Every structure is written in structure tokens, then in C-alpha cells.
Homo-oligomer: A and B are copies of this chain.
Amino acid sequence: MNAAPDCGPLAGLRVIDLGQVYLGPYCGLMFALMGAEVIKVEPPGGDSIRGIAGGRENPAAMMLNSSKQSVTLDLGSEGGRSALLALADSADVLIENFRPGTMEKLGLGWETLCARNPRLVMGSGKGYAADSVYRDAPAMDFPIQALTGLMSVTGFPDGPPVKCGAAITDFLGGIHLFGGIMAALHARGATGRGDFVQIAMQDVTHHALASNIASYLLAPDGFADRAGNSQAVLKVAPYDLFPARDGQVAIMCLNDRHWQQLTRAMGRPDLAEDPELAAGPARCARRAQVDGWVTAWTSSQTRAEIFAALSSAHVPGAPVRTLAEVVSDDDMRARGMIHDLPHPDLGTVPVPGLPMRFAAHPQVAPIPAPTVGADTARILAALEQDLPSAQSKDTY
């Protein structure tokens, strides 16, 4: 049994988390890490993310479901539906990211839930909005990246579009859904009534392209969709990845002050004093030469040495790190952003800590994610619900 921590800004809230894979579970994770009681409701076979890696449980299941409890229900059975209704009656928040129409098909749509528990806030995350022309299209991160243009602005000018390697539209969706639910809870404080909050991955991803769309609007005719690791519109240089002895570093001179500071870090006062290099457009026009000077400096040093020199000189830049390096980051552990938690089969898993810091609430370490259905009997007994007999269906 996993008990919710007894502190945190959301202590006292009860959340029913029907989330699957990334979007819903990440939204529920925010509630759990902030101290709410989060009950993850899974089909008897578990959230599909658990099994996606074949024989072993996917570590992502553990990373996104810490500090939650697990109840398994076959929502397609009368007993499962009745138990879910009792859970929703007892809750402040219900989260779901099933495919469109699933909750209604199960007889668990907003009208039904709200009629029974008018204080409930229901949050639904979908790929496309319910009133979108694309509402019937199956949506996952990859097609959403295609449709929103995120893919078209990623990659090199002479290469094809490429997806952002992270399932970024799922996580953008999950955290927008969290924000929307919190706004509805705020309003409930005044009205006493809950609300139905909906977000679409298409919409939140579109909004995250605001800087790209602005660049396009400034120069629609000459707009190069993809800029690789450089800047699409601004006439600035250097702005790219540069080789280090042990990998690559990102260096950006967004303005002329950055260039002055970079030349200092490079030990090249001659470049700083050259009036023909003082302005971004001039450096941009001589980009191969400028990049060559920077490369001459970076290629003889390690990424750490370059990063330290850039930081001292107030030039934006950082090492390009692999996931292997990120996963073993000691600083993330020291700051409570990664917790190494034990898993029955996987050994330890690096589990995310709450990414918000609150001065009024101590950081609370996550509790390992529950095994499938670990809390079913206890939680249903507390609701005076019989344990549903038929727990066979794995999906709805």
C-alpha cells in the first residue's frame, strides 16, 4: 500500500486517475507529488504502458505513477462501472485520456458523473478537440507533431522534417490538463461546483510554436522551415553546435554583447576589437570564418571546460549530453529531481521528483509506483463496494 504524503499544497484532494501511457498519468503525477491522494484505475491487465516493453515492465510506468495507489476495474462490467461511479462520487478530480467517446460508451461521461457529484472536476486530454474536424483520427505524439508543424521546423534546412525525439506533445498535454483542472478547482472554491476541462494535444502544441509562427509571419516568403541548430530568422552568429574533445557544445550569441563576452572566454581580444565583426548580420555573413574561430577554441577542450568558461563569461551555452549522461546526473539526484527507487523486476528506476519547488512545503520523496491493483480491495472496501467479480477485460 502506498499512502499519499500528508503534506504538500494539494493534500486533502482525492484524484481518480484513469490516465494511460503518458498524458493522463503525467497529469496525475503532478497531483500525487503535490500531496493529493491519487487512485490510478487500471484495467485488470494494467495500464497498457506497463506491458509495452514485452516481457519486462516498462520503466516509464514506474516513472509516471509514483506516489499513486492502484485499483483494477473492468469498466465494461456492471460491477466495475458501479465501483468507478462510487470512486468518482468520493473524488474531487477525475482524469482520463481514453480515445474520444470511450467514457460515454462506458456510461461514465461528464453528464453522468456531474449529475451524481456536482463538485467533481473532470479533466479530459485528447489528441484533437471534440469539435475538431480531425476528432475521429487516432492521435498519438507522432502524428500530432506532423499536423501541428512541429516536425516541419525540426531538422536541417537541406534535410527532411524530423520529429522532436521526446513525446513532447503528450507531456505538454498532461501539464496543460493539470493547469486547467487547477483553475477549475479554484473556481469551485467560489461556486461550489465542479467543471469539465478539456485539452487537445494539437492545440497546446500549436501554442508552443508561437516563436516559430512569429518568425514565419515576419518573413513568410523567404521562410526556411528548418534551421538545424541555428536561428531561422535572426541574423546572429555564432549559433550552433561546436566540437569539443569529448563531444559537442551548444553556443549561442543572441546579441552582440554575447559575442564580446565569447571572445573574452576564447582569449581573442583581437576579434572583440574588430569593428567588422561587432554586429550580428556582419558575423552572419562571415559565418564559416566565425564558426572556424570558435571551433579552434572548442576543439581543444572538454565540454566541461568550455561550459565553465561560457558560464563565467555569461555566454549562453551548454554541453550536448546523451541520455546515458543525463540518467547518471548526480546533481539531479542531489536536488531531488531524480529518485532511485526500487522496482521488483527492474532493480532501481530513476523516478522524477516534483519539478516545482514550494517555499511553504518541504520536498517529499516519491513512493514507488504500486503494482497493478495493489490497492483494489482496501479502497473498494472503504467505499463499501463489493469487489467486482469479473475482472477480465484488459482494454475498453
Contacts and interface: CB of A to CB of B under 8 A. Distances in A.
A321 B64 contact: no
B166 A212 contact: yes
Contact of A355 (B52, B203, B220): B203
A34 interface: yes
Contacts of A233: 53
Contacts of A155: 155, 162, 165
Interface in A169-219: 170-172, 175-180, 182-187, 189-191, 193-200, 203-204, 206-214, 216-218
A104 to B, nearest CB: 14
A217 B171 contact: no
Given A165-B153, A166-B208, A187-B361, A225 B322 contact: yes
Contacts of A186: 9-10, 13, 182, 185-186
Contact of A151 (B214, B314, B320, B352): B320
A282 interface: no
A33 to B, nearest CB: 10
Contact of A252 (B63, B142, B162): B142
A192 to B, nearest CB: 11
Nearest to A52: B234
Given A149-B321, A335-B129, A176 B211 contact: no
A196 B359 contact: yes
B352 A207 contact: yes
Nearest to A216: B323
A197 B361 CA distance: 10
Contacts of A64: 210
Nearest to A183: B9
A369 interface: no
A264 B320 CA distance: 43
A9 B184 contact: yes
Interface in A225-249: 225-229, 232-234, 239, 241, 248-249
Contacts of A102: none
A384 interface: no
A53 B218 contact: yes
A327 interface: yes
Nearest to A138: B316
Contact of A146 (B56, B132, B321): B321
Contacts of A129: 335, 337, 357
Interface of A: 9-10, 12-13, 22, 26, 30, 34, 52-53, 56, 58-60, 63-64, 110, 129, 131-134, 136-140, 142-156, 159-168, 170-172, 175-180, 182-187, 189-191, 193-200, 203-204, 206-214, 216-218, 220, 223, 225-229, 232-234, 239, 241, 248-250, 252, 254, 307, 310-311, 314-327, 331-332, 334-335, 337-338, 346, 349-350, 352, 355-361
28 contacts: A10-B183, A26-B210, A134-B331, A138-B310, A138-B316, A147-B319, A152-B323, A154-B162, A156-B159, A160-B248, A161-B241, A161-B320, A162-B229, A163-B229, A164-B164, A164-B166, A168-B208, A179-B182, A179-B356, A182-B182, A184-B358, A185-B186, A186-B186, A189-B189, A198-B356, A203-B355, A212-B323, A220-B324
Given A139-B316, A156-B162, A159-B159, 15 more contacts: A13-B186, A60-B213, A154-B154, A154-B163, A161-B241, A162-B229, A163-B228, A179-B182, A187-B361, A194-B360, A203-B332, A203-B335, A217-B327, A217-B346, A225-B322
